[in-house]
């Protein structure tokens, strides 16, 4: 059962201490690893910041030990049936922090699923506190939807991500994460433009020779865009829609060949490094739509075969479409 703390305290040391050299010291001595008379809660793990502001999971209860995390409802108590983790909330605004915590939680639930043979997609196996309440096995709390919704994620997304992670672990995937990163002139931000059928283009990362690819060739609202080995499918074909000229460059949208109503989009119209890149319905049809889908193609040279190399830069920020770790 996924919980979130409901307080702006992303540091693990708020809840978990003593300091092990990585957590940092809780200066207020109000962590939960001590005798607090009215603190009737003990989860199995917390996810939040270490002192160096990297995100980590801390186990605080044996996984075969019953926790106290969700009280009960008309059908009993999730304490009897579910492991529990608290995600340490921040102010709910930072997408970079949210995504780091989300991915960490995906990893934890994938590990649990593997350890205990769970099917992450089966009803009732992976739930949040609010879903536990609706199932009658938990108290009436809203976590974690109030936080997830602000970043375009649902519990269904989460369960699918856990299932995907399990599948990846079973068979290491050649797919690599595509995200937004500050323009730095590296090959991780350079694309070889291959003219393809019907005026479409295939875009190949110079750093890893993988292609800009729509996951499962199912463009939709929030579908992951990744780097994937070239397979000549429509998942790797893009239509360049020229929209306007701004400054030096033409502002374009990159539409999925499979369904041109869906275009390359940065999650939440955010500009932080690490913001995920996805497909989303073309905002053109939505008056007042934001600039999350507007890019400028910056020429970066030519291959020996005469193919153009470009970087894909957000039109209103100095941020590039980039593959994590060069795609390796």
- Contacting residues toward Zn ion, per CB under 5 A: 3, 129, 141, 143
Minimum CB separation from Zn ion for residue 48, in Å? 15
Q: Alpha-carbon distance 155 to 149, whole Å?
A: 9
β pairing state of 191-195 and 238-246: unpaired
Minimum CB separation from Zn ion for residue 3, in Å? 3
Q: Alpha-carbon distance 276 to 82, whole Å?
A: 30
Minimum CB separation from Zn ion for residue 83, in Å? 13
C-beta of 141 vs 281, nearer to Zn ion: 141
C-beta of 84 vs 207, nearer to Zn ion: 84
Minimum CB separation from Zn ion for residue 260, in Å? 42
C-beta of 139 vs 217, nearer to Zn ion: 139
C-beta of 92 vs 239, nearer to Zn ion: 92
DSSP state, 321?
E
Q: Alpha-carbon distance 320 to 26, whole Å?
A: 38
Minimum CB separation from Zn ion for residue 301, in Å? 53
Sheet hosting strand 55-59, strand order edge to edge: 2-4, 85-87, 45-49, 55-59
C-beta of 70 vs 252, nearer to Zn ion: 70
Rg over alpha carbons for the chain, rounded to the nearest Å, is 22
C-beta of 57 vs 275, nearer to Zn ion: 57
Minimum CB separation from Zn ion for residue 220, in Å? 30
Q: Which residues pair with 228 in a beta bridge?
A: 211
Residue 202 to residues 73, 199, 308, 327, Cα–Cα distance (Å): 53, 10, 12, 17
DSSP 260-311: TTEEEEEGGG--STT-BEEEEE-GGGSTT--STT-EEEEEEEE-TTS-EEEE
C-beta of 141 vs 241, nearer to Zn ion: 141
Q: Which residues pair with 226 in a beta bridge?
A: 177, 213
Helix-, strand-, coil-residue percentages of the chain, each rounded to 5: 25, 30, 45
Q: Which residues pair with 48 in a beta bridge?
A: 56
C-beta of 1 vs 235, nearer to Zn ion: 1
Minimum CB separation from Zn ion for residue 43, in Å? 9
β pairing state of 249-256 and 295-302: antiparallel
Residue 119 to residues 11, 214, 224, Cα–Cα distance (Å): 31, 25, 22
Minimum CB separation from Zn ion for residue 23, in Å? 22
């Amino acid at each position: 059962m996924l919980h979130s703390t409901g307080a702006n305290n992303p540091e693990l040391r708020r809840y978990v201490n003593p300091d092990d050299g990585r957590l940092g010291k809780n200066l207020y001595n109000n962590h939960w690893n001590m005798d607090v008379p009215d603190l009737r809660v003990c989860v199995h793990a917390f996810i939040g910041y270490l002192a160096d502001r990297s995100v980590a999971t801390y186990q605080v209860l044996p996984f075969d030990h019953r926790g106290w995390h969700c009280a009960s409802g008309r059908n009993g108590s999730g304490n009897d049936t579910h492991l529990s983790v608290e995600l340490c909330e921040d102010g709910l605004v930072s997408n970079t922090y949210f995504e780091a915590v989300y991915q960490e939680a995906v990893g934890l639930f994938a590990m649990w699923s593997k350890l205990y043979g769970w099917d992450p997609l089966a009803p009732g196996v992976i739930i949040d506190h609010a879903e536990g309440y609706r199932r009658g096995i938990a108290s009436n709390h809203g976590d974690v939807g109030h936080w997830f919704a602000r970043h375009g994620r649902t519990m269904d997304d989460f369960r699918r991500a856990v299932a995907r992670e399990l599948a990846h672990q079973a068979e290491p995937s050649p797919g690599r994460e595509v995200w937004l990163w500050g323009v730095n002139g590296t090959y991780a931000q350079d694309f070889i433009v291959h003219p393809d059928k019907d005026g479409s283009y295939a875009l190949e990362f110079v750093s890893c020779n993988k292609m800009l690819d729509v996951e499962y060739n199912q463009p939709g609202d929030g579908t992951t865009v990744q780097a994937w080995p070239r397979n000549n499918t429509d998942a790797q074909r893009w239509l360049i829609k020229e929209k306007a000229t701004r400054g030096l460059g033409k502002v374009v949208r990159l539409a999925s060949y499979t369904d041109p109503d869906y275009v390359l989009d940065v999650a939440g119209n955010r500009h932080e490094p690490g913001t995920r890149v996805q497909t989303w319905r073309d905002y053109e049809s939505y008056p007042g739509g934001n600039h999350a889908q507007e890019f400028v193609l910056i020429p970066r040279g030519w291959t020996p075969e005469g193919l153009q190399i470009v970087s894909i830069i957000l039109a209103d920020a100095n941020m590039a479409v980039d593959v994590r770790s060069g795609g390796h």
